[in-house]
Amino acid sequence: MISLALAQVLVTPPPIFASPTPTPLSERGAIESRLAQASAHAKALGGTLGAVVIDAATGASVAVEGDARFPLAEVRNLAIALAAYERVDRHRLTDDAALREKIARMLDAHDAQATASLLTMLGGSEAVDEALRDDGLDAIFVGDDGRGTATPRALAALFTKLFQGDLLSSSSRAALLAQLARDRSAPERLRAGFPRRAFLAHVTGTSPARDGVVAATNDAGIVTVNGRTLVVVAMLRDARGDAAARDAILASVARAVAEATALFPLQ
């Protein structure tokens, strides 16, 4: 059953982003300080942290390695789902139970068969990349066989456009956000860093370990916390260590946002 918080997000028109304005120095400093600590922990595991936080009310942002390229892993599924709903809006796909079930299996369970079926329907990964370019998202490449990449800033831009209502009709936007809000994968990442009652619509991705190195440990989405709505992207590249250690770094990104917005609430 959809929670009241989720229902409010889905039915309330998203705010129009103002021209980016500086985050208050106190809040910016609090977030940057905490992200620097998270980045240091990533380096201790031999990895690199990429993170972007965007305030939905102002468009102001804070970034660490925001323009570096990171592997997507299953985070690419968001672009595939977006392309499918764009086809629905253009009456090139039928928005029926079968389609939504495939999208749900792809997003919720990282079901490879559902992903492959959707890619076939859409014309392959290159067709999805072309749709991203049409949306003004030039630094996201879906790829095949785990070769998809993006910059954290580009992924944040995708979520920003989705939240603003720039990419989909209101019904398709609501459907996709609802599916992202139901995602319960990787609960020790962003979800663990936010208060229990925070609304989070997100997508996660993890690469298999090779020689003890995990190429991608990712979590990205839209969160409403402490009366604020923000886009938060956290991507950890080429890190060693077990899942708990890697997940904790992403959770610390969420905790940085939660603590800073609690310390410096909107007046």
Q: Is 201 exposed, middle or buried (0-12, 13-18, 19+ CB in 10 A)?
A: buried
Q: What is the pLDDT of residue 22?
A: 46
Fold annotation for 4-70+149-263? Beta-lactamase (3.40.710)
Q: How far apart are CA 25 and CA 134, in angstroms?
A: 36
pLDDT digits (tens, 9 = 90+) for 186-212: 999 999 999 999 999 999 999 999 999
Q: What is the pLDDT of residue 146?
A: 84
Q: Is 82 exposed, middle or buried (0-12, 13-18, 19+ CB in 10 A)?
A: buried
Judged by DSSP in three states, 78 sits in helix
Among 190, 197, 183, smallest CA distance to 217 is for: 190
- Cα distances from 90 to residues 135, 160, 167, in angstroms, run 14, 21, 12
pLDDT digits (tens, 9 = 90+) for 123-162: 999 999 999 999 999 999 999 988 999 999 999 999 999 9
Q: What is the DSSP string of 97-134?
A: HHHHHHHHHHHHH--HHHHHHHHHHHT-HHHHHHHHHH
Single-letter residue type at 173: R
The answer to whether the CB of 213 falls within 8 A of the CB of 239 is yes
Q: What is the pLDDT of residue 23?
A: 47
Strands 209-210 and 213-225: antiparallel
Q: What is the DSSP string of 181-199?
A: HT--S-TTSHHHHS-TT-E
Question: Per-residue b/e over 216-232, b at no fewer than 16 CB within 10 Å?
Answer: bbbbbbbbbbbebbbbb
Q: What is the pLDDT of residue 8?
A: 52
**How is the chain split into domains, by residue range?**
4-70+149-263
The answer to whether the CB of 157 falls within 8 A of the CB of 149 is no
Query: Which residue numbers in the chain have pLDDT < 50?
Result: 1-7, 9, 11, 13-25, 267
